Amino acid sequence: MNSSTEDNSQLSEMQENLNLLQELPFFSAFPPQAMKLLAYLAERVQFAKNEILIEEGDDYGRAYLVLTGQLTLLKGSDSAATVIKHFEAGDLLGSFSLLGDMPSLFQLQAATATTALTITREHFLKIAEQFPKISTLALKGVLKELYQWERRNLTQAETCCLDRSGATVL
């Protein structure tokens, strides 16, 4: 492959990354130049079926956008693990970890062969240094995600369990 073909391939992958990231509420209000840098620095990673991406207690410092396949969030380990949730194409997880240290409360495992677009905290924070407005926009994104999570989960919770639920957005 010649360098022109390689350059076109990199540009088309970056454009695809940009399109994917712009669709996500967490990133949607970011300035265009910051989004281009995120798209350029994002990395496509493939995980084998049953591969552990995150162990409980790890500070993984990375966000994952599932492109293909399925990831499973588990509590506990080995045969005693409880499935909490499945993530599929289009799901973003770990965006809060881009903002700072955040040990995982769960284990994340590839349920199938999976491809994900990943953004590291290190890259995100370097971009935030260049575009200080991102910190405020990211905080707004976090608040929006937290509100949506509570709205979804509190309305679905059984009456018996509401006293164990958080109520951060009143």
- The pLDDT-based confidence of 148 (bands split at 50, 70, 90) is confident
Percent of the chain predicted with pLDDT > 90: 56
Specify if 86 maps to a domain: yes
CATH number of the CATH domain containing 18 = 2.60.120.10
Specify if 162 maps to a domain: no
Specify if 164 maps to a domain: no
H/E run at residue 47: strand 43-47
Specify if 166 maps to a domain: no
CA distances from 141 to 92, 148, 152, 161, 165 (A): 12, 11, 16, 27, 21
Specify if 170 maps to a domain: no
- Domain containing 17 equals 3-157
Number of domains the chain contains: 1
Specify if 127 maps to a domain: yes
Specify if 42 maps to a domain: yes
> What's this model's pTM, rounded to 2 decimal places?
0.82
Structure tokens at 141: 């994104």
Q: Which of 92, 96, 85 is nearest to 118 (CA)?
A: 92
pLDDT greater than 60 at residue 53: yes
Contact 100, 63 (CB under 8 A): no
